Chain A
Amino acid sequence: MSALLELKGVEARYGAVQALRGVTLEVPEGSIVAVLGANGAGKTTALRAVSGTVRRTGEIFFAGKPLRGGPESVARAGIAHVPEGRGTFTDLSVQENLKLGAYTRRDRGLGSDIARMAEYFPWISERGDQRAGTLSGGEQQMLALARALMGRPRLLMLDEPSLGLAPMIVREIFRIVRELNEKNGLTVLVVEQDARIALDVAASAYVLEVGQVVVSGPSSELRENEAVRRSYLGY
Chain B
Amino acid sequence: MADFLQQVVSGLASGGIYGSLALALVLIHRATGVINFAQGEMATFSTYILWTLTANHGWPYWPAFAVTLLVSFAGGIGIHELVIRPVERGSVLRIVIVTIGLLLLINGAMTWIWTGEVRYVQGPFPTRTIDVGGVAVSLQDIGTIAVSIGTVGLLWLFFQFTKVGLAMRAAAVNPAEARLVGVRVTWMLGLGWGLAAVLGAVSGMLTAPSAILDPTMMQVVLIYAFAAAVLGGIDSPVGAVVGGLLIGVGLNLLGAYVDFIGSALQLPAALAIILIVLMVRPAGIFGRREVKKI
- CB neighbours of A89 from chain B (8 A): 170, 173-174, 177-178
B177 touches A91 (CB 8 A): no
- Does A99 contact B163, Cβ atoms closer than 8 Å? yes
Interface residue? A100 (CB, 8 A): yes
- Contact yes or no, A103 B169, CB < 8 A: no
Q: From residue 159 to 181 of chain B, which have CB atoms closer than 8 A to chain A? A: 163, 166-167, 169-170, 173-174, 176-181
Indicate which residue in B166, B169, B180 contacts A81 across the interface (CB closer than 8 Å).
B180
> Is B180's CB under 8 angstroms from A51's CB?
yes
Interface assignment of B183: CB less than 8 Å from any CB of chain A: yes
CB–CB B169/A92 < 8 A: yes
- Tell me, in angstroms, the Cα distance from A88 to B180 when the chains sit together: 11
**B94 beta carbon closer than 8 Å to chain A:** no
Taking a contact as CB atoms under 8 Å apart, the answer to whether A99 and B166 are in contact is yes
Q: Which of B163, B169, B176, B180 has the most CB of A within 10 A?
A: B180
Evaluate contact between B177 and A101: CB separation under 8 angstroms.
no
B179 touches A72 (CB 8 A): yes
Task: Tell me if A71 is interfacial: C-beta within 8 Å of chain B.
Answer: yes
Contact A72 B182, beta carbon cutoff 8 Å: yes
Within the complex, the shortest CB–CB distance from A55 to chain B, in Å, comes to 13
What is the CA–CA distance of A75 and B179 in the complex, to the nearest angstrom?
8
A83 to B177, CA, bound (A): 8
Q: Which residues of A contact B177 (CB under 8 A)?
A: 83, 87-89
B281 at interface by CB-CB < 8 Å: no
A100 touches B170 (CB 8 A): yes
A87-B182 CB under 8 A given contacts A99-B166, A103-B167: no
B182 near A104 with CB under 8 A, answer yes
The answer on a CB contact under 8 Å between A100 and B183 is yes
Asked if residues A83 and B180 are in contact (CB atoms below 8 Å), the reply is yes
User: Are A151 and B182 in contact, with the CB atoms below 8 A?
Assistant: yes
Query: A87-B177, A91-B173 given as contacts; is B182 within 8 A of A76 (CB)?
Result: yes
Q: Which of A65-123 contact B (CB under 8 A)?
A: 70-72, 75-76, 80-81, 83, 87-92, 96, 99-101, 103-104
The CA-CA distance from A104 to B179 in the complex, in Å, is 11
Chain A residues with CB under 8 A of B85: none
Min Cβ gap B19→A in Å is: 22
The answer on a CB contact under 8 Å between B170 and A92 is yes
Whether A53 sits at the interface, judged by CB under 8 Å, is yes
Q: Could you tell me if B181 and A103 are in contact, using CB atoms closer than 8 angstroms?
A: yes
User: How many A-B contacts are there with CB distance less than 8 Å?
Assistant: 62
Residue tally, chain B, CB below 8 Å to A: 17
Q: Does A147 contact B (CB under 8 A)?
A: yes
The distance from the CB of B109 to the nearest CB of chain A, in whole angstroms, is 34
Q: How far is the CA of A104 from the CA of B163 in the complex (A)?
A: 11
Chain B neighbourhood of A83, CB < 8 A: 176-177, 180
- Residue of A with least CB distance to B173: A91
For the complex, give the distance between the alpha carbons of A56 and B184 in Å: 20
- Hey, which chain B residues are within 8 Å of A151, CB to CB? 181-182
Q: Residues of B contacting A103 with CB < 8 Å?
A: 163, 167, 181-183
Q: Which residues from chain B contact A87 at a C-beta distance below 8 Å? A: 174, 176-177, 180
| B193 → A minimal CB distance (Å) | 19
CA distance A51 to B176 in the complex (A): 11
Residues of chain B with a CB closer than 8 A to A53's CB: 176, 179-180
Contact assessment for B183 and A72 in the assembled complex, using a CB-CB cutoff below 8 Å: yes
Contacts of B173 in A (CB 8 A): 89-91
Contact A147–B169 (Cβ < 8 Å): no
Known contacts being A72-B183, A92-B169, A92-B170, is A100 close to B176, with CB within 8 Å? no
Cβ of B167 and Cβ of A71 under 8 Å apart? no
Among A30-80, those with CB < 8 Å from B are 51, 53, 70-72, 75-76, 80
Interface string of B249-283 (1 = CB under 8 A from A): 00000000000000000000000000000000000
Closest 7 CB pairs of A and B: A75-B182, A71-B179, A87-B177, A104-B182, A103-B181, A103-B182, A71-B180
A interface residues, Cβ below 8 angstroms from B: 51, 53, 70-72, 75-76, 80-81, 83, 87-92, 96, 99-101, 103-104, 147, 151
Known: A75-B180, A92-B170. 12 other contacts (CB 8 A): A71-B182, A72-B183, A72-B185, A76-B182, A81-B180, A83-B177, A87-B174, A88-B177, A89-B174, A99-B166, A100-B183, A103-B182
